[in-house]
Structure 1
Amino acid sequence: MLKVGLTGGIGSGKSAVASRLAGLGAVVVDSDRIAREIVAPGTEGLAEVVAAFSDRVLGPDGALDRDALGGVVFADESARRRLEAITHPRVRARAAELVAAAPADAVVVNDVPLLVEVGLAPTYHLVLVVQTAVPTRLARLSRDRGMDPAEAERRIAAQADDARRQAAADVLLTNDGTLADLHGAVDDLWRDRLLPYERHVRERRAVRPDRSTLAEPDPTWAEQYARLAARIRHAAGGDLRVDHVGSTAVPGLSAPDVIDVQLTVPSLAEADGPLADRLAEAGFPRLPGEWWDAPRRPDRVHWAKRVHAGADPGRPAVVHLRAAGSAGWRHALLMRDHLRADPARRAAYLQVKRDLVATAPESAEQGTLTDPWFDEEHLRAEKWAAQTGWRP
C-alpha cells in the first residue's frame, strides 16, 4: 500500500486533483468529508463544539453552521486551536479506519487541507501539494463558493503560505492553467510514479540509483534530504541521528542525482532488527547482500554497514546504516565537512569524479572506492580535522 498525502490551500483546486486520482483508481480519504461527519447532528463532536463556542454556531435546524463557526475561528487563532483540539483527533481516528480497510495494493490518498500545518508530512510515502496563485484562489472562492473577499483573504492567511507548503512537497502541481492541463499532470504522475512506487513498497523493491552521470548542483537537494530524513526519523522512532552525506550534501558540488542519508545506529545488530522492517514499510527497503565502505589508509579493515534504498522511482535515495562512532560513520561526516569548508579540495574532488565518469561511467562508483586519490584526500581531511578541532 502506498500512502499519499494531498494538500493545498483553500481554493487551490485540491478537490479536482483528488477526484481525478479517485477516477484513476486511488482510494481517497477526504478529511473535509470526515470533518463534517464527526460534527453531524447527534454526535459527540458536535456537542463538544457547541460546549466550546456556544449555540451561536448552530443553524435553525440544529446542525452545525460552518460559516458561523468559520467566522469565529478564522479570526481568532486561539479559537481555531480549540476547534482543532476537538476535531483533529476524531478525523485522524476515522481516517485510520478507512486506510486500514483499503486493499493491500491500494494507492491511498489522504486529502488533508492542514497536512502541513499539523506536521503530518513524514507519515506519508509521498506528499502532493496543489499550488495556485492567490489572486486565482480568491476569484474561485468568490465565484464558486460565494465567499466575501475579506473572508476569503482571512481564510488564506490562516493557512500555511506557499513557501511552507512547497518545502513539504515531494510533488508540486501548479493549477493556474486549464482543468485539462491539471488532469494531464495527474495522469502522468499516476502512471509514472504512484503505481510503480506502490508496487515497489508492497514488494519491498528498492530503486537502484544511477551514479554514472553528474548533475549540476541542485539548490533543492537540501530540502529533498530534509523530507526524506523526516520520514526516516518517523519510521526509526527514538532519537537516532540522521545526516545528509555524500556529494549532494556539499553545496555547489556537481554530483550524481542521488540523496545519500546516514542513519546512525547503536550497532549493526540494531540495523538487522525490527528497524529494517520499519524502514521498508516507510519506502526504504533493504538492499540484499553484504555492504561495506572502502577502507582508507592506514586502516585496511572493511567498514561494515547496512544499506537501504528508496522505493520511489522519482527520487533516488540511499540510506547508509552505520554504527555510531565507527570508522565508516566518522569518514562520511568528515569528508562532507572537509569539502564544505575547503573550496580548493572541493574543486579537486569534482575533477577526479568527472574524470572517473568520463573514462568509465559504469564503474565510476567503484572508482571512488579504489582510486588512490581518495586515500590521499582522506589523509588531507584528517589533517584538516586535527588543525581545526573538528568533531563529528
Structure 2
Amino acid sequence: MLHLGLTGGIAAGKSTIAAVLTDLGGHLIDADAIAREVLEPGAPGLRAVVEAFGDGVLTADGTLDRPALGRVIFGDDAARARLNAIVHPLVGAGTKARVQGLPPDAIVVHDVPLIVENGLGADYHLVLVVGASEDARLDRLIADRGMTPEDARARIAAQADDQARRRLADEWIDNERDPGEVRAAVEQLWQRRIAPYARNLAAGAVAARSGPAVLLEPPEPPRTWAVQADQILARLRRAGGERIRSAEHIGSTAVPGLVAKDVLDLQLGVDTLADADLIADRLGRAGFPVRAGQWVDTPKPNEPDPRRWEKRLHGNADPGRAVNLHVRVVGGPGWTYALAFRDWLRADDAAREEYAAMKRRTASGTVDTGAYTAAKEPWFTQVWPQLQVWVDVERWRPPTR
C-alpha cells in the first residue's frame, strides 16, 4: 500500500489536486474531515475540548464554535499543543480504521494540511506539496472565504513558509497555472512516479535503473542531498524501530561539494544480520525491498575474512529517487569503513579532490553504472592505508546516535 501525504499552505488548492488524484485511482483520506467527525456533538473529542477550553468554544446548540476555538489557540503555542494532544490521536485512529478497509495495493492520498508544521513527513512514502504564491493565496482567502486582508495574512504567517515546504517536498505541484495544465502535470506525475512506485511496492521490487554513470554537482538548497537523506532516514528509523542502532547518510552524496551520481547511499546499523533479516519486511513496506543475493563488501587488509564484511542490501521502490540502503552490523568493518571514509573525505581536501578526479575518469570510461561501480572498487582498497593514517592521527571514532 502506497501512502501519499498531500499538503500545502492555506488556500494553495489541495482539494483540487486531491480530486485529480482520486480520479486517477487514489483513495482519499481527509484529515480535516476526520477531525470534524471526532469533534461532533456527543463525541469524546468534543467533550475533551470543552474540558480543556471551557464552554465558550460551543455554540448555543452545543456544536463546536470553530471560530471561537480558533481565537483561543491562535498565537498561543501551549493552547494549540493541548488541542493537538486531544485531536491528533483521534484523527490517527480514524485514519487507521479507514486504511484497514482498503485493498493491499491501494494508493492512499492523505490530505493533511500540517504535515510540515507537525513533522509528519516520515509517515508517508511521498510528500506532495501543493504550491501557490502568497499573493494568489491572499486573493483566494479574501474572495472565496470572505476574510479580511489582515486575517488572511495572519493565517498564512501562522503556517510554515515555502522554504520549509520545499525542503520536505518529494514533488512540488504548482497550482497557480491554468487548471488544465495543473491536471496534466498531476496525471504525468501519476504515470511517471506514483503508479510505478505502487506497483514496485506491491511486488517487493526495486525500481530499475539503467544508463551511464552521470556525475552531478550537489543540488542547491533547500532540497539538498543531505536533506533528502535525512527525510528517508527518518522513515527508515520509524519502520525499523528498536532494531536499528544507527542510521547514517554515507557515500559521495554525503560529502559536501563532491560530484556524485544522483543516488543516495544510506546505512543502517544493527546488532546482527539476523536483526537485519527480521526488519527486512518492515523496510520493504516502507519502500525499500531487499535485493536478493549474498552481499559482501570487499575486505580490506585489516580484516581479510570475507564473512566479516557481509551485509544486507535494499533499494528504493520509488523510481523518482535512487537509493542504495546498506544494512551492516554496528562496529563491523564494513559499517566502520563507510563512516570513516565519508568523514575522511569531508575533512581532507586533497583526498576529496583525488576521489573526484578518479570518479570522473572512471565515469568517462565505462558504459553503465554497474561497470562504473566495479571499476572504482580497487581504489577503496588502494587508499585504505591513507585512511587508516588519518583515523589514527585524528583519533577518529564512529558517530554515536
Q: Compute the TM-score of the two structures, normalised by the length of structure 1.
A: 0.94
The one-letter amino acid paired with 1:172 is: W
Whole-Å separation in 2 of the counterparts to 1:176 and 1:289? 48
Are the counterparts in 2 of residues 209 and 258 from structure 1 also a CA contact under 8 Å?
A: no
Partner residue in 2 for 1:332: 338
Question: 1:103 Cα shift?
Answer: 1.4
RMSD of Structure 2 on Structure 1 (CA): 1.7
Matched, 1:267 2:272: yes
| Partner SS for 1:144 | helix
Are the counterparts in 1 of residues 366 and 372 from structure 2 also a CA contact under 8 Å?
A: yes
**Which runs of 5 or more structure 1 residues have no equivalent in the other structure?**
none
Are the counterparts in 1 of residues 245 and 330 from structure 2 also a CA contact under 8 Å?
A: no
Q: How does 1:284-295 map to 2 (within 5 A)?
A: 284-295=288-299
Whole-Å separation in 1 of the counterparts to 2:339 and 2:83? 45
Are the counterparts in 2 of residues 75 and 154 from structure 1 also a CA contact under 8 Å?
A: no
Are the counterparts in 2 of residues 207 and 313 from structure 1 also a CA contact under 8 Å?
A: yes
The one-letter amino acid paired with 2:161 is: D
The one-letter amino acid paired with 1:262 is: Q
Q: 1:47 and 1:299, CA in 2 relative to 1: closer, same or farther beyond 3 A?
A: closer
Question: 1:278 Cα shift?
Answer: 0.7
Partner residue in 2 for 1:241: 246
Whole-Å separation in 2 of the counterparts to 1:197 and 1:290? 25
Are the counterparts in 1 of residues 269 and 330 from structure 2 also a CA contact under 8 Å?
A: yes
String of CA shifts for 1:206-245, please: whole Å, max 9, x gaps: 1244572222222411111011100111011125201111
Aligned residue pair count: 389
Whole-Å separation in 1 of the counterparts to 2:146 and 2:303? 71
Whole-Å separation in 2 of the counterparts to 1:148 and 1:66? 17
Match of 1:383 among 371, 376, 389: 389
Partner residue in 1 for 2:326: 320
Are the counterparts in 2 of residues 209 and 317 from structure 1 also a CA contact under 8 Å?
A: no
Q: Compute the TM-score of the two structures, normalised by the length of structure 2.
A: 0.92
Q: 1:242 and 1:209, CA in 2 relative to 1: closer, same or farther beyond 3 A?
A: farther
Are the counterparts in 2 of residues 265 and 321 from structure 1 also a CA contact under 8 Å?
A: yes
The one-letter amino acid paired with 2:270 is: V
Q: How does 1:151-300 map to 2 (within 5 A)?
A: 151-210=151-210, 212-219=213-220, 220-238=224-242, 240-273=245-278, 275-297=279-301, 299-300=303-304
Percent identity (aligned): 47
Question: 1:299 Cα shift?
Answer: 4.0
Are the counterparts in 2 of residues 29 and 95 from structure 1 also a CA contact under 8 Å?
A: yes
The one-letter amino acid paired with 1:107 is: I
Whole-Å separation in 2 of the counterparts to 1:52 and 1:323? 48
| Partner SS for 2:6 | strand
Whole-Å separation in 1 of the counterparts to 2:105 and 2:302? 50
Q: How does 1:1-392 map to 2 (within 5 A)?
A: 1-210=1-210, 212-219=213-220, 220-238=224-242, 240-273=245-278, 275-297=279-301, 299-302=303-306, 303-362=309-368, 363-369=371-377, 371=378, 373-392=379-398
